[in-house]
Structure 1
């Protein structure tokens, strides 16, 4: 039996009217997003693709940053109001380049959905030596959010959504310290994968603390 190290506040129903069988079409029904701009990482596949389709259907312009541009364009073919831009979440220079291009357009950013993520992959490292899952799932999204912050503030009521899961409840912080920061190799891919979930919540808290007076709503969504 896995040990449960969760000591926080348990989730409670928010009375949204939706449940486990609600679809994206149910949620977006009668919502008008015309004139709104969203960035969705990982928006060309899986859950991210459904997010992109739904936001586009509601009228939003959706920007999908992707490592493989041709693959992303193929997956997004036929979806209206979608732009595809190059970005690699494991490369700081790539993230900065993407963010600076968006900021140069002088557009507001109404939604930033940090959806992309990898897990249970063979041990890989980015150009700085950080483990790939930690680099992609946490460091990359933290940098992206920080770089786009001015555009989010400009929207006055923007939302930052980071996709996570309840797996953060079964990983201790010291694993993050030992396996990632110290860069120790690990053969336990499940525990390493759980770091994504924990670091999503770390990102949420690191951002929230200094910006309580700013009109940007920040959410972490377990799926």
Structure 2
């Protein structure tokens, strides 16, 4: 399985990159632990990890936004994301949302690249007050891109490093991502049955216009309207 970590950290060293690395390590560990039950020796538990550092691609991202063409390094990063079986995306919090660099990278990504792809969202910030960035900004972004966002997002404030709770959240989110990555491909909703061209008579044994159709009570609209009238 191919796992790509997209990190939008700007500093070196970066707490954003550190969180991405810890999440990736947890995913690798969970996948390896699950391998014997799913078929040991067949490669199911092997996870190949690639990290995309957006700070190194900032200039090429800006050029892509203005010209419409990615440079070599950005093109390779976009291809890696599109080919991944799962993603971990991590951003620092700027002005109560994801960073502009983070958003710009996904702006230049092909619109269908993340359709059905499992994504784990994570963020870092100086205060726990920004933790809702996961739900108010990141989750809607990837829902719009038609990705499958794992239920548990991971936010790490400055005081969370070394404190209780962070490791548990990382482990839970990693387990959810592994479960989706191991499902055998993009998660695509099953197509719904095509509606019939025109209403037809009820099947034998069902009654329409009075009692039941398919186990549901059917009351004609005129009867419901009459019941609402005041005598």
With the length of structure 1 as denominator, give the TM-score of the two structures.
0.40
Larger gyration radius, structure 1 or structure 2 = 2
